[in-house]
């Protein structure tokens, strides 16, 4: 009762709080709806503005990026151009004139052509022929050299070394031409080493006056005398040409001889010389390219400086673009988070609103809630949760009040049940409890009266329990008349709820005493205080049992069924589940027998004797032959006809029905024509053996 009174008080407080919060929530929800709509629209417009500005900046940045990429490519190309020029300059730093490279190219070509020609001609001559030609050329070259030495060592040559051509021609007009062909030396013209002969010749030359030679007492006109063309001079030029030709031919022959000695090495050398030609040609081309590039170097450097300046400007502009885009992205993220926060808050509010219970129109106002309430919009969700928690708390308190009131009634307090208004009934009850000292006597008498009232119901339940025990004893006797499989006995037993039966018996016993007058009067409280304590204990136990069974108490709450199985030469074993008690076949047999006996107990005996009831048993192959025979026999004796189904042949079968034979488009139709009566082979043999014996007996008769 104290808990009930506290519950009613708590309920009034919660009701007052709910009535205070409900209008505040309605007002705040309206304000939030207007604010959220306007704020979300504002944020959406901001986000669209930032997004458009960001797109415009990104488009500009893409154009700048393309220009930067173009400049980067041009700068890279120019730097590559300058790098190439620098390499060429460093490479030809020591070359001042292109003629040097041209001479190197010509020399490389001559060396290659000479060796290549020698390699080609070496295939036409043998080594012996080449040696013979070499010896001949060496002899000829030696002779030509001797002749050339003689031609170069005569008086004319010596005079030409000291005097001009005109002076020498004058002397040749004056003197015998043979004089100029004489060799220098003992067998020709001897000249002193100190140069006095030159002075002597100069004295002679001093006598020439134009076309005349004059000395004291002598004047010679030499204008009509032509200077002789010395054969030695022509021979000397021819000898030089012959010498050069023979030397060149000798060199070629030596090269051919060397090539003939090792053609593979010569071929390799030819290839190397050809590569030198290519290298020299490439060097010449590179030098000429370096000269061409050098002419453009200044212009390229100026272009590079301009492009680098433009690139730096674009980079600074790009950095500014990037910074601005990042700022816009940050603003967009901020706006997006704000929108997401509002949407999340709205979803949370929607979820809370779906769970919100509106106050019933007839909900009492309860105790006024006077605590201060924060009705700001930031406190909307906590306020809504507080409202929902208060509502759920009210529901719990209502349930507790109902349960407590039920317990009070079970204890016999029903004084105010005639009051239709539940609220007033509870209030009257609480007020009465507050004045319980005056009503103690009345409540005690009510408890006695409640005992007698409850006892009538408990007697019926107890009687049903005793009847069930008796019926189970009859059932167990019937079912154990035949042995099932390897079981000595099978019994269905009751596992009683001894504590519940004890308290039920206590209530029934006390009520019997009251009704029989053992306590003189139902309202004589002074005579049975100990009995009242036992009754109170019994009622509290039964009240808990009733509450645990959804406020009901029946026969099923006083026991649990169990199965006692005793195998042959074994001990009884109790099972709460029949499926795991024995093998599958044995379990099926037990279930079939149990169901038949239970049906017989439920049926009218007269009706059961007039008809036979069919029953269907699937997977009959799990039951062995002996149990099948016992099951069939028992079934027929009890008035049942078993139909055993199995995909395997059954020894105990007497009729086989062909289901496929009766199948048609409209289903399966079977009549007696589809029955096939069958018998065991040993039974057929016994019948066949009995017939000849009977005929023999007739013949004797």
Together in a domain, 473 and 544: yes
| Poorest-pLDDT segment among 215-219, 518-522, 554-558, 692-696 | 518-522
Together in a domain, 144 and 205: yes
Together in a domain, 83 and 138: no
pLDDT band, residue 112 (cuts 50/70/90): low
Per-residue pLDDT, 23: 86
**What number is the average pLDDT over the span 82-98?**
76
pLDDT band, residue 239 (cuts 50/70/90): low
Cα–Cα dist 455/359, whole Å = 43
Together in a domain, 131 and 210: yes
pLDDT at position 191 over 80: no
pLDDT at position 483 over 60: yes
Q: What are the helix (H) ranges across 356-435?
A: 380-410, 422-434
What are 495-540's pLDDT values in tens digits? 788 888 888 888 888 777 665 544 434 444 444 567 777 878 888 8
Per-residue pLDDT, 376: 84
**What number is the average pLDDT over the span 66-82?**
83
Per-residue pLDDT, 301: 82
Together in a domain, 454 and 318: no
Per-residue pLDDT, 152: 57
Together in a domain, 512 and 459: yes
pLDDT at position 309 over 80: yes
- Please give the structure tokens belonging to residue 544: 């808990």
Together in a domain, 164 and 42: no
What are 327-367's pLDDT values in tens digits? 888 888 888 888 888 888 888 888 877 877 788 887 888 88
pLDDT band, residue 231 (cuts 50/70/90): very low
pLDDT at position 445 over 70: no
Question: Would residue 226 count as lying in a domain?
Answer: yes
Together in a domain, 145 and 85: no
Question: Would residue 561 count as lying in a domain?
Answer: yes
Domain boundary among 215, 235, 256: 256
Together in a domain, 79 and 125: no
Cα–Cα dist 212/414, whole Å = 188
Cα–Cα dist 344/350, whole Å = 10
What are 127-158's pLDDT values in tens digits? 565 566 667 767 776 766 666 665 555 666 66
Question: Would residue 238 count as lying in a domain?
Answer: yes
What are 672-687's pLDDT values in tens digits? 778 888 887 776 666 6
Work out the percent of the chain whose per-residue pLDDT is above 90. Answer: 0
DSSP structural state of residue 88 = H
Cα–Cα dist 294/316, whole Å = 33
What are 242-301's pLDDT values in tens digits? 777 777 766 666 666 665 556 556 667 667 777 877 877 877 777 777 777 777 777 878
**CA dihedral defined by 300, 303, 309, 311, rounded to 10 degrees?**
-90
DSSP structural state of residue 672 = G
Question: Domain span at residue 548?
Answer: 435-582
- Please give the structure tokens belonging to residue 644: 């055993």
Average pLDDT, the chain: 75
Residue 293 neighbours by CB under 8 Å, 6+ apart: 81, 84, 85, 88
pLDDT band, residue 701 (cuts 50/70/90): very low
Per-residue pLDDT, 580: 62
Question: Would residue 496 count as lying in a domain?
Answer: yes
User: For the chain, how big is the Rg over CA atoms in Å?
Assistant: 71
Per-residue pLDDT, 519: 44
Bigger pLDDT: 41 vs 134? 41
Question: Would residue 296 count as lying in a domain?
Answer: no
* Number of domain units in the chain: 4
Together in a domain, 87 and 129: no
Question: Would residue 246 count as lying in a domain?
Answer: yes
**What number is the average pLDDT over the span 191-204?**
77
Nearest Cα neighbor of 142 from 254, 246, 253 is 246
pLDDT at position 115 over 70: no
Question: Would residue 667 count as lying in a domain?
Answer: yes
Together in a domain, 337 and 445: no
Per-residue pLDDT, 525: 45
Per-residue pLDDT, 699: 47
Total number of residues shown for the chain: 701
pLDDT at position 308 over 80: yes
Together in a domain, 444 and 578: yes
Per-residue pLDDT, 258: 60
Question: Would residue 113 count as lying in a domain?
Answer: no
**What number is the average pLDDT over the span 403-432?**
78
């Amino acid at each position: 009762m104290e808990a009930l009174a506290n519950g009613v008080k708590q309920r009034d407080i919660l009701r007052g709080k709910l009535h205070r919060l409900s209008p505040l929530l309605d007002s705040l929800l309206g304000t939030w709806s207007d604010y959220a709509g306007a704020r979300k629209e504002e944020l959406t417009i901001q986000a669209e503005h930032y997004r458009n500005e960001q797109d415009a900046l990104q488009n500009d940045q893409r154009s700048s990026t393309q220009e930067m990429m173009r400049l980067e490519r041009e700068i890279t190309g120019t730097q590559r151009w300058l790098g190439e020029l620098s390499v060429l300059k460093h490479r030809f730093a020591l070359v001042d004139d292109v003629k040097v490279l041209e001479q190197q190219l010509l020399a490389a070509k001559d060396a290659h052509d000479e060796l290549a020609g020698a390699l080609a001609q070496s295939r036409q001559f043998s080594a012996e022929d080449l040696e013979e030609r070499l010896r001949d050329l060496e002899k000829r070259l030696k002779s030509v050299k001797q002749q050339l030495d003689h031609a170069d060592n005569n008086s004319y040559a010596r005079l030409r070394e000291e005097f001009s051509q005109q002076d020498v021609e004058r002397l040749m007009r004056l003197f015998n031409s043979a004089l100029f062909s004489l060799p220098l030396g003992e067998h020709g013209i001897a000249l002193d080493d100190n140069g006095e002969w030159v002075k002597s010749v100069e004295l002679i030359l001093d006598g020439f006056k134009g076309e005349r030679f004059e000395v004291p007492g002598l004047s010679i006109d030499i204008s009509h005398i032509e200077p002789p063309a010395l054969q030695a001079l022509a021979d000397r030029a021819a000898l030089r040409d012959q010498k050069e030709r023979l030397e060149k031919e000798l060199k070629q022959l030596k090269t051919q001889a060397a090539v003939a000695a090792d053609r593979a090495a010569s071929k390799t050398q030819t290839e190397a010389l050809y590569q030198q030609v290519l290298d020299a040609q490439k060097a010449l081309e590179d030098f000429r390219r370096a000269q061409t590039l050098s002419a453009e170097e200044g212009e390229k450097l100026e272009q590079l400086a301009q492009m680098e300046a433009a690139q730096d400007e674009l980079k600074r502009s790009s950095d500014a673009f990037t910074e601005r885009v990042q700022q816009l992205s940050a603003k967009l993220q901020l706006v997006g988070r704000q929108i997401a926060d509002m949407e999340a808050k709205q979803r949370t509010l929607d979820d809370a609103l779906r769970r919100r219970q509106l106050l019933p129109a007839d909900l009492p106002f309860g105790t006024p809630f006077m605590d201060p309430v924060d009705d700001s919009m930031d406190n909307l969700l906590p306020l809504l949760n507080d409202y929902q928690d208060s509502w759920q708390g009210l529901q719990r308190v209502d349930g507790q009040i109902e349960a407590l009131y039920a317990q009070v009634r079970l204890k016999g307090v029903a004084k105010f049940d005639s009051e239709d208004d539940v609220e007033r009934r509870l209030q009257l009850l609480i007020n009465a409890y507050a004045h319980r000292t005056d009503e103690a006597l009345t409540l005690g008498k009510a408890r006695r009266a409640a005992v007698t009232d409850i006892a009538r119901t408990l007697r019926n339940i107890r009687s049903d329990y005793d009847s069930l025990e008796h019926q189970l004893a009859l059932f167990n006797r019937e079912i154990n008349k035949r042995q099932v499989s390897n079981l000595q006995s099978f019994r269905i037993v009751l596992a009683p709820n001894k504590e519940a039966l004890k308290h039920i018996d206590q209530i029934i016993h006390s009520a019997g005493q009251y009704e029989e007058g053992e306590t003189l009067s139902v309202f004589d409280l002074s005579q049975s205080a100990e009995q009242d304590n036992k009754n109170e204990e019994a009622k509290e136990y039964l009240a808990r049992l009733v509450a645990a069974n959804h406020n009901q108490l029946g026969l099923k709450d006083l026991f649990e069924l169990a199965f006692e199985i005793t195998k042959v030469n074994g001990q009884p074993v109790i099972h709460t589940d029949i499926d795991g008690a024995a093998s599958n076949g044995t379990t099926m047999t037990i279930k079939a027998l149990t169901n038949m006996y239970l049906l017989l107990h439920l049926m009218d005996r007269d009706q059961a004797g007039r008809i036979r009831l069919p029953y269907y048993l699937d997977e009959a192959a799990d039951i062995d032959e002996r149990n099948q025979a016992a099951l069939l026999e028992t079934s027929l004796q009890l008035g049942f006809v078993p139909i055993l189904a199995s995909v395997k042949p059954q020894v105990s079968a007497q009729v086989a029905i062909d289901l496929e034979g009766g199948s048609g488009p409209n289903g399966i139709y079977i009549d007696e024509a589809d029955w096939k009566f069958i018998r065991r082979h040993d039974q057929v043999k016994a019948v066949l053996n009995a017939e000849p014996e009977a005929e023999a007996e007739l013949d004797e008769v």
